[in-house]
Structures are given as C-alpha cells and as structure tokens.
C-alpha cells in the first residue's frame, strides 16, 4: 500500500505512531513493514545549505564539546523534514497464506483509521503490474 501525505509532516508522524502501536499490539513485527519517502524541493535544499554555510562562517567557535554521533542523528530525526517536501508512506504486509483473514482485516481497517482516513490508499497486490516497481522503490529506501 502507498499513502501520499503531501506536505503534511504531522499526519505522517501520526501514521507512524499508529503503525508502531499496531505492530506492538498485534505482534506484527516482521509482517508489517513501512518506509517513508521524503522528497524536498531542490530550491529549498540549496537555500538551507547556503544559510548553513553563512552561519558557520559568521558564528564564532564555542567552548562546547562537539556532539556525539548518536545525539547528532537523534537531533536530525527530531527535526521535521522540509516544510515544502512531499511525504509518502510505503507499507508492506507480509502475511503467510494461512493469515489471509488478518491481512484482509488490516486492509479494511486502514481507510477507517484517523491519519489514513483522509488519504486515498493505493493497494497493490503481488500479481499487479505496478508491484515490481513499488517493490524496488521500497527496497531502495532506508
């Protein structure tokens, strides 16, 4: 399944929290996989890098020790993506043949839940033409 959140980062984070809740509640650790694709405008990215370069040239060196790698990556994760970037959610359900009822229930449940109800989900099954293309895109995302 794929969901397009447009530029609404808050809805995307609500969806992530909802998916994490379902993974824990229904023990779907390996069966419910999702990845986000964030596409920022090229102009915004170049503007931000130019601003960072100017700030680093103007800012005097501080006496604080540099942040560790973990805290630096955590700080980046806490900051929302660019305000004008599109956010897409790719969701993969990996149920075995004897769990098809559970899969069907989840497919019916997604459009009725809050962060997903305003979106139009696009479900692609294994035999569809677009499946290979979406699978490659899903595997390419981190």
Per-residue pLDDT of the chain (142 residues; tens, 9 = 90+): 999 999 999 999 999 999 999 999 989 999 999 999 998 754 344 445 444 444 444 444 444 455 544 444 444 444 444 456 899 999 999 999 899 898 899 889 888 888 888 888 888 988 888 999 999 999 999 7
C-alpha separations of 37 from 30, 41, 85, 134 in Å: 20, 13, 10, 12
pLDDT score recorded for residue 85: 84
Tell me which H or E stretch contains 24: helix 9-25
Q: Are 134 and 124 in contact (CB under 8 A)?
A: yes
Distance between CA atoms of 115 and 6, rounded to whole angstroms?
13
- Supply the pTM of this predicted model: 0.67
pLDDT score recorded for residue 139: 92
Report the alpha-carbon angle 142-53-47, nearest 5: 65
């Amino acid at each position: 399944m794929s969901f397009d959140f447009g530029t609404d980062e808050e809805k995307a984070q609500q969806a992530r929290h909802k998916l994490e809740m379902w993974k824990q509640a229904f023990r779907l650790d390996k069966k419910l996989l999702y990845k986000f694709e964030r596409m920022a405008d090229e102009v915004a990215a170049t503007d931000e890098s130019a601003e960072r370069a100017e700030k680093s040239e103007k800012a005097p060196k501080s006496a604080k020790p540099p942040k560790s790698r973990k805290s630096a990556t955590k700080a980046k994760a806490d900051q929302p993506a660019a305000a004008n970037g599109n956010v897409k959610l790719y969701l993969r359900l990996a149920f075995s043949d004897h769990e098809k009822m559970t899969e069907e229930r989840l497919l019916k449940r997604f459009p009725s839940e809050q962060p997903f109800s305003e979106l139009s989900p696009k479900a692609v099954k294994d035999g569809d033409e677009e499946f290979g293309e979406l699978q490659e895109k899903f595997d390419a995302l981190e």
